[in-house]
Amino acid sequence: MYVEREASVGEPTSQERRDAEQNDKRILGNVVQCDGARATISAYANDADGAVTGLWTVGKMISINLGSTRTVGLVYAIGKSDRAWSNEGQNAIEVSIELIGEVRDGAEPGGKPVFDRGITTYPHIGAVAHRIRTRDLQAVYDLAGRHSITIGTLAQDETIAANIAIDDTLARHFAIVGTTGVGKSTAVSLLLRKSIAARPDLRILILDPHNEFAASLPEYCVRVDSKTLDLPFWMFKLEEFAEVLFRGRETEPEEIDALRDLI
């Protein structure tokens, strides 16, 4: 694939820089359609090029070379129009990507690439799509010095740490979603541990109806259940207080009126 080496001082960080022994088959494909938000890339795949074909998978990021900038796309669909596969030769495939931003080279020669969420120049028909370089992928996930926590590594490139801007995250509403068994509770436990380590001043209230988190955070949590939870009467509404006082029996209107006067 492309040579993953740092650019020397004064060397332009071209997305098309390849080892001399590598051929054009390492180019992944070409843009054949773009509507401003998404693009379609035409490419070829076969059994012999398993390493290249493996880059065309849902969830992978690729880049489209536009000279001074590289448009970054996220693969969300891939398929063959004829729904047939040949083991003997090339198979034409279409890859659908969502355009998420662009990477431009730093202002200084040899400087770090910079990622922008906006796109100034959209891919043209025939633009070449490449495997995204490590430096560009790092730029996409760069937090620009913000206070962050590390929760793992990127699935696409395990040499790059997966960081979360903890202060920004805690200042917003966010959700962790997924089907049963994918690890939502584990992810929440990891985030809680990392957040508490980074911000010891945090006070976190967890509503845990399935009793999942007490065992994973024993040194941090104070567990409160139905036996240890004490609520002052002043927190109850009149109807709720009546249910507690009369223990579910039918009440008379006079009793409710007397209770209201007493309260």
pLDDT tens for each residue of 178-206: 999 999 999 999 999 999 999 999 999 99
Cβ atoms of residues 62 and 2 within 8 Å? no
Pairwise pLDDT comparison (140 vs 3), residue with the higher score: 140
Domain with CATH 2.40.30 in the chain: 24-142
Mean pLDDT of the chain: 83
- Report the pLDDT value the prediction gives residue 210, as an integer from 0 to 100: 86
Interior angle at CA 116, CA 113 and CA 119, nearest 5? 120
Q: How confident is the model at residue 100 (pLDDT cuts 50, 70, 90)?
A: very high
- Give me the percent of the chain exceeding a pLDDT of 90: 47
CA distance 108 to 229: 61
In the chain, count of helices (H) and strands (E)? 6, 9
CA distance 35 to 99: 10
| Residue 98 one-letter amino acid | E
Closest CA to 144 of 163, 157, 119: 163
Measure Cα distances from 236 to 103, 209, 221, 226, 231 in Å: 56, 21, 26, 16, 8
HSE (side-chain half, CA atoms, 13 Å) at 156: 20
CA distance 123 to 57: 20
> Mind listing the pLDDT tens digit for each residue in 48-94?
555 555 667 899 999 999 988 999 999 999 998 888 888 887 888 99
- Look at residue 157 and give its three-state secondary structure: coil
For residue 16, is pLDDT > 50?
no
- Report the pLDDT value the prediction gives residue 48, as an integer from 0 to 100: 58
Q: How confident is the model at residue 129 (pLDDT cuts 50, 70, 90)?
A: very high
Cβ neighbours of 150 (radius 10 Å): 11
Closest CA to 132 of 78, 49, 70, 68: 70
Per-residue pLDDT averaged across 125-137, rounded?
92
Q: How confident is the model at residue 167 (pLDDT cuts 50, 70, 90)?
A: very high
- Report the pLDDT value the prediction gives residue 50, as an integer from 0 to 100: 54
pTM summary value: 0.71
Interior angle at CA 102, CA 91 and CA 175, nearest 5? 90
Q: How confident is the model at residue 7 (pLDDT cuts 50, 70, 90)?
A: very low
Q: How confident is the model at residue 238 (pLDDT cuts 50, 70, 90)?
A: confident
What CATH number should be reported for the domain whose range is 24-142?
A: 2.40.30
Closest CA to 185 of 151, 208, 219: 208
Per-residue pLDDT averaged across 11-22, rounded?
43
Q: How confident is the model at residue 6 (pLDDT cuts 50, 70, 90)?
A: very low
- Report the pLDDT value the prediction gives residue 52, as an integer from 0 to 100: 54
- Report the pLDDT value the prediction gives residue 20, as an integer from 0 to 100: 43
For residue 149, is pLDDT > 80?
yes
Pairwise pLDDT comparison (21 vs 145), residue with the higher score: 145
- Report the pLDDT value the prediction gives residue 108, as an integer from 0 to 100: 76
Closest CA to 231 of 219, 244, 215: 244
